[in-house]
Amino acid sequence: MMSKPDSRKTPKLTTKGKATRLRILRHAADLIYAHGVQATSNEAIRSAAGVSGSQLAHYFPTKEEVVLGVVDWQADDVLAFHRSEQFGGFDTIQAFQDWADFYVLTGRPFQNGCSLGSLAGELVKGDLEVHDALADAFAQWRSIFTEGIERMRELGRINSSADPVRLANTFLAAYQGGILLAQIAQDIAPLRDALYSAVDQLRTYQVEPDTLVTSPVTPN
């Protein structure tokens, strides 16, 4: 997992303090992803990060603050990937096809599921006050799809009957549900079928080239 800045507001830290906090967060994220929140103790985080108990308490006074930091960490990773130039803002059907192909054709491991989705599934019924952070992370993820589909409508690439929010929810649900079923089956087929079906649904709104609205040509 590559280092990246934590998006949650934190007290001003020295360069060394920032590095220490980031190291703690990186190891906490890896441990929670591998073993779950309940099975990840402060002692395990402290040992993995190579910090003292007082250092851990300084940067993350409570378990809830550790988990909130990890939610931000995982969300930043997912959002940065979806905002990368690889998918060009998701304003073409091909971009969504490329996104689906990334999970289906590149051989990317699916056995551990979605890092953010797995975390959300564990936390959503728990007693830690992290629901708002999770909701915000998924809302941002959904908005990347929504905004791309809205641009597709504005550009005349799909017809106006397409509902950007509904389609965005479809893609997000197809990925989350598909990867869970793939984990259970130890077979990528459920994820492949779910993602490609979502792309096929988007494709039903495609405007044929000869029906695209174009500016009239003014004769000289």
State the 10-residue block means of pLDDT for the chain, 220 residues long.
43 82 90 86 92 91 90 92 95 97 85 85 81 93 98 96 98 96 93 97 88 45
Cα of 11 vs its chain's centroid, Å: 26
Q: What is the pLDDT of residue 10?
A: 54
Same domain, yes or no, for 131 and 203?
yes
Q: What is the pLDDT of residue 209?
A: 66
Q: In DSSP terms, which residues pair with 158 in a beta bridge?
A: 206
Same domain, 32 and 122: no
Tokens of 66: 């550790």
Whether residues 117 and 181 share a domain: the answer is yes
> What single letter denotes the amino acid at residue 47?
S
How many other CB atoms are found less than 10 A from the CB of residue 146?
Answer: 21
Q: CA nearest 97: which of 212, 205, 192, 209?
A: 192
171 and 125 share a domain?
yes
Residue range(s) defining the domain that contains residue 203: 63-208
Q: How far apart are CA 97 and CA 195, in angstroms?
A: 9
Distance CA 122, CA 130 (A): 11
The per-residue pLDDT for 218 is 43
